[in-house]
Amino acid sequence: MGTPKASKKYSTTLMERGSFWFYGIGMIFYYMIVGSYMNTFLLLQGIDLAKIAVILLVVKIWDAVNDPLFAYIFDRVKFKKEKCLPWLRLAALLMPLACIGFFNMPTGLGEFGKLAWFTVFYVLWDATYTICDVPFFSMTTTMSVDMNERNMLFSVARVFHGAGNLFCTTMMTWMIGEKCGMAFGKAAIITCLVGAVFTLPLFFWGKEKYAILPKREDEEESHPFTLREMFSYLKQNKYLTLLYGIQIASGCLCVGGAAGMVGTYFIYGQTSFGIITTWLNMIPGPVLGLLLPLILKKVDRFKLYMTCNIFSFAWSVLTFFAYFMGWLNVTWAIVGSALTAIPTTMSGLVGYMFTIDALEYGRYKTGINAVGINFAVQTFSAKFPGAIASSLGVWLLSLTSFVMYEADSIAGLANFTQTEQAVTEMWLVTQLPGLIATFISYALLICFYKLRSKDVAIMAKYNAGELTREEADSLMSRKY
């Protein structure tokens, strides 16, 4: 059989697109298993909460270094015909090993040994995921130069990410929950094996047709970035630094996940309903992913993004006060998931597209095609705030009367209780900081983020050599 031909509509083949999207499922498995279940795992190890908080903070010093460091390496290392695929293949081999090692902590270790084990394997996981994340999102720019096709690749990739999130969360929540009671180590092995199956197709059918972009007449000769040039670029790309700077600052205070499934168990009396809410949140994904390219032809990305976020934020505020009114129960959580599913999913699909916007803006303004830097900032803004929030949240929990118990899985908590005061304190410290930070971040974005999708499309045409500078400037809605 011959190689499938690219469709007339797209420059990529279905096999190329499919292998890229399936890789997204696998990589999100490796992200979710650590990112979503790390706190739950650690809270059941009998380790002092304050010490966990300190270690979480310390390991993120490495995270603060490895994202820009890998971006520096990514933009300097030149392969003959590819830019992203070699890194993605390497990450596919290393990520499952790091994840499995993380959750198979020997039970006989003392507190110091457990903290050391966590530190080593978290750093390994963080590094291997960075090797994967930056090239994956960068690959949308090396598969096609057409903005509509890029939007399609990106939006569908987010749908596949969502599917991976759904499958991973369903598997892990059920396996370690009170119904099944499987140990974390066994659950991690099963989940990683499934994730590995999804990353394999890219090894055979992944292609980068535009790994080397054409040089504009006014563009400087290509040369490896120096660290000074990298930081200079970040300074000049104000929309990249504004968007992700706000996201990083506010994300550090979004400590809602600090108590993990342990907190959910003591608030609602069970965790298995989380599978239902996860499915409700993911149902709109496939439909919205297919419709999003059409929607974005009619609606500005930023306006759509903020409208969805404000709706979800309003429901979060209502839920916060519902706890004190005695309304918060499993039914409330399920109804809330159903109401916010569409805006939350839409926001997630659209959000990461701003990195491509900032990439085109940066090249338009500076003449530098800093793919690695842009996507490293995106990766850093996703991982760093989450880790700081985890550390801060666990530290805040250590100041409350909320008691941690040692258990192999959530099922082991059935014989333990928390006081009403302890649960209320846990609710306050995990919810209130995030609500305040989110309100401030949305206000700042509305006031200062002025880059619009129609202008980005013009910048992309100029960057691809289809327009002159004068033609591009004359078509813009405003001066950039």
Q: DSSP for 110-131?
A: -HHHHHHHHHHHHHHHHHHHHH
Give pLDDT, residue 453: 86
Block residue for tokens 């500078």: 469
Block residue for tokens 């258990």: 407
Q: Count each helix (H run) and each strand (E run) in the chain, helices first.
A: 20, 0
Neighbours of 55 (CB within 10 A): 20
Query: Does position 366 have pLDDT exceeding 90, yes or no?
Result: no
Give the model's confidence band at 193: pLDDT under 50 very low, under 70 low, under 90 confident, else very high: very high
Q: For residues 247 and 267, give the distance between their C-alpha atoms in angstroms, rounded to a whole number.
A: 28
Give pLDDT, residue 310: 96
Q: For residues 405 and 275, give the distance between their C-alpha atoms in angstroms, rounded to a whole number.
A: 24
Least confident of 122-136, 219-233, 383-397: 219-233
Q: For residues 29 and 58, give the distance between their C-alpha atoms in angstroms, rounded to a whole number.
A: 25
* Contact status, residue 411 vs residue 178, Cβ threshold 8 Å: yes
Q: For residues 168 and 30, give the distance between their C-alpha atoms in angstroms, rounded to a whole number.
A: 9
Give pLDDT, residue 214: 56
Per-residue pLDDT reduced to its tens digit, 47-86: 888 888 888 788 777 766 677 778 778 877 878 788 889 9
- Return the closest-CA partner of residue 112 out of 61, 63, 62, 48: 48
Give pLDDT, residue 134: 79
Give pLDDT, residue 340: 94
Give pLDDT, residue 443: 96
Residues sharing a CB contact under 8 Å with residue 208, sequence separation 6 or more, in sequence order: 81, 82, 83, 84, 85, 139, 142, 143
Residues sharing a CB contact under 8 Å with residue 68, sequence separation 6 or more, in sequence order: 230, 373, 376, 380
Helix H or strand E segment including 471: helix 469-475
* Contact status, residue 141 vs residue 132, Cβ threshold 8 Å: no
Percent of the chain with pLDDT over 90: 37
Selected residue with higher pLDDT from 7 and 428: 428
162: tokens are: 């969502």
Block residue for tokens 């983020």: 449
* Contact status, residue 26 vs residue 199, Cβ threshold 8 Å: yes
Give pLDDT, residue 440: 96
Percent of the chain with pLDDT over 70: 94
Give pLDDT, residue 4: 45
Per-residue pLDDT reduced to its tens digit, 122-162: 889 988 888 888 788 888 888 887 878 887 888 788 778 87
- Return the closest-CA partner of residue 413 out of 264, 311, 262, 295: 262
Q: At what angle do helices 301-325 and 330-351 cross, to 10 degrees?
A: 160
Query: Does position 298 have pLDDT exceeding 70, yes or no?
Result: yes
Mean pLDDT of 256-264: 86
Give the model's confidence band at 222: pLDDT under 50 very low, under 70 low, under 90 confident, else very high: very low
Mean pLDDT of 397-407: 85
Burial code of 115-147, b = ≥16 C-beta within 10 A, e = fewer? bebbeebbbbbbbbbbbbbbbbbbbbbbbbbbb
Query: Does position 223 have pLDDT exceeding 60, yes or no?
Result: no
Mean pLDDT of 190-213: 87
Give pLDDT, residue 447: 94
Q: For residues 418 and 228, give the distance between their C-alpha atoms in angstroms, rounded to a whole number.
A: 53
Of the spans 237-241, 380-384, 415-419, which averages the highest pLDDT? 237-241
Residue 285 burial by Cβ neighbours in a 10 Å radius (0-12, 13-18, 19+):
buried
Query: Does position 445 have pLDDT exceeding 90, yes or no?
Result: yes
